[in-house]
Structure 1
């Protein structure tokens, strides 16, 4: 609904600022913190979720699993029944808290391939090649590993290799080396093919994320306001200029106005939903929802991408897996004591301890599959670790061809949007996932891993043919939690956002979060989201 229908007397309060940032996720926290460095610029940061600065489960790396199962800071999104996954609806956890998904994720810190960003530039996101992005990647981090021209040394986000590698992770690395893979010196360097310990965004055994490392130090600045627990209802416009947003505060509706710019940073799901609720999207869909079209932008909500995975689970000999610790009172005490004493041990690790990027298909010019070693087994994070000793590694496609959509369910901002991931829609994705599972089996058969593995649980020994493997993937596979691309940058007519992150067709509005990614990076997307936040702040400062 256009802004003119909202009268000032209908709201409980009216606030004005210079820059209004909507969404305190990985990118939004960076933007607000960077822009508030200028004392002459007033910045307001709006977030639907709470502030949780003291929650120990956010700070403890292994706490990600508890946060997942509790749903405490989760938007609780689910896809529609997926045709390619036997009609299963997939849970898509997204962070609803100051810090966003970066406060609750598995702490894996991988930029992806340098070629990923060159592909962004080639697709129409001019000025986003790897060489363009590298200074911002470096500026946002302090890398604890071997110095290199690729890594930062003085940024807010602290990154390091895993401080703890279990016997299973060591065997995983040794097995990949036995297959001929190289030991990677730095997965975030110029070339990432090979195996090694997982890089994590952890500082001295504690999660290092944008809310803590960028935003928290800025809270004392008088020109910065951080306003949690304020779900965004829609954007406000005067003509074709975005002037602010309507949000629901503790005492009722609030009107927040921006003298200079509004930055929408609500994530790959929230951003297209808010744009459509504000009359920006495919006109036919908006009309169907009863929303007056302000700007026909059919690319909003399209181009949805996500990494897909298949977990390969194994029952193993006792080898200090989390399963063993978790189901023993003494084991739990030992884990906690080790973490309390020196911030090491299983509680100091996020979602994975080791990583492999491999070329699986013949003729692949670069790695097309990623394997993440996890020192426990779960059927679902909701149920916790299995009772038997076990570990698993996830086979993940680096660059899926399948594309999905985000659309509105209704014009009510409180209704969750309709998410259609369309997993395995593309024939290439189906073929690569099958070959990826077969390659994972070869990895598991190598001596270092074979010496520990007692039984393959998934896929299971009865699953042999390509058809049987694909059927199992459809029954069991799921998300790697990397949705992106739903308001992509580009020069073509379907790209809603230009290369300086401005929403085309309106004034005063930028988009800066994972939704602007033209193509999903080859691995985890958190570093790319942080980098987008850094670049957005630079664009705004430049005017």
Structure 2
């Protein structure tokens, strides 16, 4: 692509600002809000999706299921056919709305293990150990549980344990304790091994996410411009300095220029795609697409990681599962009335009610599997809850060894990228998932959980040998929706981003989203993405940019 084509487009209207934030996801909303606290700093925030401030299905915790099935606010990504999953293509929903995936996810609010962040530092992300990142975790949150030095007390994001737990969730917790697991006081504390009610990002029974809790109160600041429904075409450069982005808006092309800094927050899929469209990536692959190489960075789009799960689905005796409310007489009305009255009941719960971190493999030094209890069963979210009483819990590998990639499908920004997750590529992942299913069955066999279960639906009682379990996992397993790592931080040559979130080889460009994570945390990644946003804002303030 000729250099001039990257720099000027005669039909684009021109806008300028001090700091240009590209992407209003979990991290981008934090960055724009924090930087605009300084009235002398002009900030513009670009987002492909709408604002949707008052959509009730975003605000109500249980609305995540409706958002998933409708595809609203979703980029609708899919992986390529996965060799490890019998050639299945997996739907990867990602938030296309102010607040990003944090506005549409299942509201599980878990940081992972403190050792996860020490591993980041050991892998080359210097200054990102647990002691380094803890102040930023605390800064972003208000924890409504027991006071602790690990938890924040006055941040915008509110976190709490589930206020309502079903009989199934209580039985799940009791069954795990019968196996010797301790009741965890705080999953986001210094040690997270054990079982307990799920922590969720909620405030007063409503979803608490960065678009609503950070950005919305700041939206009327005169130095902050929030520009929704604008898709990024490519970054703009003068020499090796990033000076802005070419954006397609409602009225056509717009050229947004940054006097001080561009911060790319496109997420684990969008960020590498935008970098490659801008000439930053593997030179040979860019040449194949007809894109001139600005920076040969073969690590862009590599190191893709995601948590993988197998759902253990059960037909159960009537025990107030969502299935019963959904299909019973006046059940939906009862759920709605309970939620309207005191913000409790099934509608106040996100994707899971209870959680267990367990060591499954012999000799494991820390939990290697996560189990999330869900008080309903679905065959697919499109069909809604199954027509019988049912619950499930998912067996999720904490730290997978398999690695995937993101690549361009074409030089057209409108074309979705090529996503290869490579699930179960690593033999260790296959072994641990099989053992994780067997361990889940041990949980299900414990009282009082066993007394509720009438039938194991998946994998099913006939699936017993290791070979049969693995075959079932390949047919049925899927994502936990935690892609990350595709523009990782590190000191080695293949790490595109340094430990101050600066893209190597250029000036004026930072990356701040889940793509910079060197390793996926042991649990859900939303709090880590928020923390990265806080850290990026602190770096920029310290640099006086």
Structure-1-length-normalised TM-score: 0.99
Partners of 1:186 and 1:301 in 2: CA distance: 35
The equivalent residue for 1:399 is 399
Partners of 2:149 and 2:11 in 1: CA distance: 52
Shift of 1:327: 1.0
The equivalent residue for 1:185 is 185
The equivalent residue for 1:305 is 305
Say whether the 8 Å CA contact 2:159–2:202 is kept in structure 1: yes
Say whether the 8 Å CA contact 1:4–1:238 is kept in structure 2: no
Query: Is residue 498 of structure 1 aligned with residue 498 of structure 2?
Result: yes
The equivalent residue for 1:122 is 122
Shift of 1:2: 6.3
Q: Secondary structure at the match of 2:448?
A: helix
Partners of 1:426 and 1:381 in 2: CA distance: 29
The equivalent residue for 1:224 is 224
Partners of 1:336 and 1:329 in 2: CA distance: 13
Q: Deviations over 1:369-428 (max 9, x none)?
A: 000000000111121110000000000000000000000000000000000000000000
Shift of 1:457: 0.3
Partners of 1:479 and 1:142 in 2: CA distance: 29
Query: Is residue 195 of structure 1 aligned with residue 195 of structure 2?
Result: yes
Partners of 2:211 and 2:466 in 1: CA distance: 45
Q: What is the CA RMSD across the aligned residues, in angstroms?
A: 0.8
Shift of 1:328: 2.3
Correspondences of 1:32-431 after superposition (within 5 Å): 32-431=32-431
The equivalent residue for 1:22 is 22
Partners of 1:203 and 1:84 in 2: CA distance: 40
Say whether the 8 Å CA contact 2:81–2:87 is kept in structure 1: yes
Runs ≥4 residues deviating over 4 A: 6-9
Partners of 1:2 and 1:326 in 2: CA distance: 58
Partners of 1:252 and 1:10 in 2: CA distance: 12
Partners of 2:162 and 2:264 in 1: CA distance: 34
Partners of 1:127 and 1:295 in 2: CA distance: 26
Q: Deviations over 1:26-65 (max 9, x none)?
A: 0000000000000000000000011100100000000000
Say whether the 8 Å CA contact 1:375–1:392 is kept in structure 2: yes
Shift of 1:12: 3.6
Q: CA 1:491 to 1:8, structure 2 compared with 1: closer, same or farther past 3 Å?
A: closer
Q: Secondary structure at the match of 2:214?
A: helix
The equivalent residue for 1:477 is 477
Partners of 2:10 and 2:56 in 1: CA distance: 40
Q: CA 1:7 to 1:464, structure 2 compared with 1: closer, same or farther past 3 Å?
A: closer
Unpaired runs of at least 5, structure 1? none
Say whether the 8 Å CA contact 1:3–1:238 is kept in structure 2: no
Q: Deviations over 1:243-266 (max 9, x none)?
A: 000000111000000000000000
Shift of 1:9: 5.6
Say whether the 8 Å CA contact 1:11–1:255 is kept in structure 2: no
Q: Deviations over 1:134-172 (max 9, x none)?
A: 000001000000000000000000000001100000000
Partners of 1:480 and 1:211 in 2: CA distance: 22
Say whether the 8 Å CA contact 2:6–2:237 is kept in structure 1: no
Query: Is residue 439 of structure 1 aligned with residue 458 of structure 2?
Result: no
Shift of 1:4: 2.6
Q: Secondary structure at the match of 1:396?
A: strand
Partners of 1:12 and 1:399 in 2: CA distance: 45
Say whether the 8 Å CA contact 2:243–2:258 is kept in structure 1: yes
Say whether the 8 Å CA contact 2:7–2:236 is kept in structure 1: no
Q: CA 1:51 to 1:2, structure 2 compared with 1: closer, same or farther past 3 Å?
A: farther
- Equivalences, count: 543
Partners of 1:214 and 1:3 in 2: CA distance: 38
Shift of 1:8: 4.7
Partners of 1:147 and 1:246 in 2: CA distance: 46
The equivalent residue for 1:487 is 487
Say whether the 8 Å CA contact 2:7–2:238 is kept in structure 1: no
Partners of 2:326 and 2:36 in 1: CA distance: 44
Shift of 1:10: 2.0
Query: Is residue 541 of structure 1 aligned with residue 541 of structure 2?
Result: yes
Shift of 1:7: 6.1
Partners of 1:403 and 1:373 in 2: CA distance: 27
Partners of 2:540 and 2:381 in 1: CA distance: 40
Structure-2-length-normalised TM-score: 0.99
Partners of 1:181 and 1:328 in 2: CA distance: 35
Partners of 1:384 and 1:82 in 2: CA distance: 25
Q: Deviations over 1:263-290 (max 9, x none)?
A: 0000000000000000000001001111
Partners of 2:500 and 2:218 in 1: CA distance: 25
Q: Secondary structure at the match of 1:447?
A: coil
Q: Secondary structure at the match of 1:504?
A: coil
Shift of 1:436: 0.1
Partners of 1:538 and 1:212 in 2: CA distance: 21
Unpaired runs of at least 5, structure 2? none
Partners of 2:46 and 2:540 in 1: CA distance: 18
Q: CA 1:279 to 1:363, structure 2 compared with 1: closer, same or farther past 3 Å?
A: same
Say whether the 8 Å CA contact 1:335–1:346 is kept in structure 2: yes
Q: Deviations over 1:439-481 (max 9, x none)?
A: 0000000011101000000110100000000000000000000
Partners of 2:474 and 2:333 in 1: CA distance: 39
Partners of 1:538 and 1:62 in 2: CA distance: 34
Say whether the 8 Å CA contact 2:166–2:375 is kept in structure 1: yes
